């Protein structure tokens, strides 16, 4: 019997002996395996006032890291923050021309060659806690409804375990 990546993630995250770094790594890789075209996956945590997000984990080019000091502020990217907090999701196949993500054109997208973005909020006690960010580097990806459904499922899994063990 084959188990899909997100079911395996749930099983793995239920292990109480798993340290936070391994949890974050498993989340990034499971999402990368599940969301076709996402060759860069990152997890971001909101500050207390939802005015900034801090990158807590990233998988890019198959390599995992826990970057320090990578922070994006609502002051610098108001279109993005307003949209993600209002609707929980941003699906931007052409992220460089999407009204909620083109704000990243100067300082971010060209530097890492991002063309497409699919983001979804995960919650803790029903309040926005962080963002799962899927990006396509090098080419545009038309994110499918199934991609979005899988990302929502991943966010629910992350939300459950962030409630139980403060994942981030």
Task: Please count the structural domains in the chain.
Answer: 1
Element (H, E) at 82: helix 78-87
The Cα–Cα gap between 125 and 63 comes to 31
pLDDT above 90: percentage of residues in the chain: 74
pLDDT for the residue 164: 43
| Cβ pair 95, 119 in contact under 8 A | no
Beta bridge partners of 131: 44, 121
**pLDDT of 27 higher than 90:** yes
Share of the chain above pLDDT 70, in %: 95
Higher pLDDT, 166 or 77: 77
| Residue indicated by tokens 């989340």 | 27
Residue appearing with tokens 């949890």: 23
Domain that holds residue 39: 5-165
- Separation between Cα atoms, residue 12 and residue 101, nearest integer Å: 33
Q: At what angle do helices 5-13 and 145-165 cross, to 10 degrees?
A: 0
**Residue (of 82, 76, 130, 80) closest to 107 by Cα position:** 76
CATH of residue 123: 3.30.450.40
At 99-153, the pLDDT tens digits run 999 999 998 999 999 999 999 998 877 788 999 999 999 999 999 999 999 999 9
Q: What is Dmax (Cα atoms) for the chain? A: 49
Comparison of pLDDT for 12 and 97, the residue scoring more: 97
Q: Is the pLDDT of residue 20 over 90?
A: no
């Amino acid at each position: 019997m084959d188990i899909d990546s997100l079911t395996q993630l749930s099983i793995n995250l239920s292990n109480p002996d798993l340290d936070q770094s391994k949890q974050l790594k498993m989340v990034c890789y499971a999402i990368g395996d599940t969301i076709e075209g996402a060759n860069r996956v990152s997890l971001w945590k909101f500050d207390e006032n939802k005015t900034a997000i801090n990158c807590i984990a990233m998988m890019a080019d198959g390599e995992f890291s826990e970057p320090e000091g990578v922070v994006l502020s609502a002051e610098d990217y108001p279109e993005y923050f307003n949209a993600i907090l209002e609707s929980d999701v941003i699906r931007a196949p052409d992220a460089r021309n999407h009204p909620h993500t083109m704000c990243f054109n100067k300082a971010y997208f060209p530097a890492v060659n991002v063309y497409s973005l699919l983001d979804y909020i995960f919650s803790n006690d029903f309040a926005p806690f962080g963002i799962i960010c899927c990006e396509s580097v090098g080419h545009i990806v038309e994110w499918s409804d199934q991609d979005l459904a899988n990302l929502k499922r991943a966010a629910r899994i992350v939300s459950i375990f962030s409630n139980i063990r403060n994942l981030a």
